[in-house]
Amino acid sequence: MAVRKSKSAARKRKSAVTSPLLRSAVEVLEHGLFHFFRSDTAKDMKFAIMHVDQAIELIMKERVRAGGRSINKPNNPKETVGIWSLYEILEKDLSVAIPEKADLELIHEERNAIQHKYLNPSAEDAGFHIGNAVKFLQRFLKDELKVDIYDHVPSKYLDDLLL
């Protein structure tokens, strides 16, 4: 009997995130936080920033999708819209306020510098970006998708950033 309850509880937790897009976003976020907390090497800071930025973009795409809008480019449905188009759709079409936008732009620019210009971010800079990103994600997931970040990301990662 205890085994059934355990399986049922596991099923219930997994079913809380029903969208494959949101599930992928949460997995990428957790992976980025794993790198952030694993060490303060440039390699881990790079992956932390890249993955957390990707999680932000995927979660924004999930909100656009949940709002009934396509995440595909109108002129090329095989590609999805980028972060700048997501801001426009969210703010203008879906009336979603993003007061953290300036901080999110910074982490995205940092990701671009890592990806395209071989930047090696310091642990201090990564901490600034990751902290701002996780605070945004906690609020955005709760307000826009009715999801508690603590239901999907281990508290060992979140507590240090949110408390």
36-81: per-residue pLDDT in tens?
Answer: 999 999 999 999 999 999 999 999 999 999 999 999 999 999 999 9
State phi, psi for 74 to the nearest 5 degrees.
-60, -35
Task: Please report, rounded to a whole number, the percentage of residues in the chain having pLDDT higher than 70.
Answer: 90
Region 19-44 average pLDDT: 96
Predicted confidence at residue 16, as pLDDT, reads 52
Find the mean pLDDT for residues 138-153: 97
CB-based contacts of 108, cutoff 8 Å, min separation 6 = 53, 56, 83
Mean pLDDT, the chain, integer: 91
Q: What is the pLDDT of residue 59?
A: 98
CB atoms inside a 10 Å sphere around CB 82: 12
Q: Which residue has the tokens 């801001």?
A: 87
pLDDT category at 163 given cuts 50, 70, 90 is: confident
The model's pTM is 0.88
pLDDT at 156 over 50: yes
pLDDT at 5 over 50: no
